[in-house]
């Protein structure tokens, strides 16, 4: 474990400072800026480990996988500009959803709403596929 501590910390701190849900490539590029000698394979492996350990989370969107440090919310994905926005739902809604199902060992809820964001809605809506 010890050998990875620095990289782990670096990934966590970088992601913590991000509010725009970077992809693994974007996250790597950000870290690379300050740490020229960290290898891509190490970063990718460490990111995957952090996800497995539930330290950071994956956000699966139509355009690929993004990463988020914060876990207290869900996401909205704009089908037009690919922007990802945080969505805060009352936890009771999710609890009720799970209660009404027979699922009782849920560890993560990966909920992504897909639609058109406010700033895209205003302009030439007829172009939306």
Report the interface residues with Zn ion, using CB under 5 A: 68, 78, 80-81, 86, 117, 120
Q: Do 74 and 111 form a contact (C-beta atoms < 8 A)? A: yes
Residue 11 CB coordination number (10 Å):
26
Judged by beta carbon, residue 97 or residue 116, the one nearer Zn ion is 116
Nearest distance from C-beta of residue 59 to Zn ion, angstroms = 6
CB of 71 to Zn ion, least distance (A): 9
Which is nearer to Zn ion, 58 or 80 (by Cβ)? 80
CB of 112 closer than 8 Å to CB of 101: no
DSSP structure class, residue 23: B
Task: Tell the residue number behind the tokens 């950000």, with chain if given.
Answer: 30
Helix (H, G, I), strand (E, B) or coil at 26: helix
Residue nearer to Zn ion on the CB measure, 81 or 99? 81
Q: How far is the CB of 37 from Zn ion (least distance, A)?
A: 30
| Residue placing its CB nearer to Zn ion in the complex, 3 or 123 | 123
How far apart are CB 48 and Zn ion at their closest, in Å?
A: 19
If we measure between CA atoms, which residue out of 34, 45, 36 comes closest to residue 8?
45
């Amino acid at each position: 474990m010890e050998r990875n501590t620095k990289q782990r910390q670096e990934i966590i701190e970088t992601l913590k400072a991000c509010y725009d849900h970077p992809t693994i490539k974007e996250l790597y590029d950000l870290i690379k800026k300050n740490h020229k000698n960290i290898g891509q394979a190490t970063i990718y492996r460490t990111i995957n480990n952090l996800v497995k350990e539930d330290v950071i989370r994956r956000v699966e969107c139509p355009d690929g996988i993004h990463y988020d440090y914060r876990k207290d919310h869900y996401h909205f994905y704009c089908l037009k500009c690919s922007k990802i926005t945080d969505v805060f739902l009352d936890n009771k809604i999710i609890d009720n959803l799970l209660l009404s199902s027979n699922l009782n060992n849920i560890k993560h809820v990966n909920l992504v709403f897909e639609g058109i964001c406010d700033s895209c809605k205003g302009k030439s809506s007829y172009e939306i596929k």
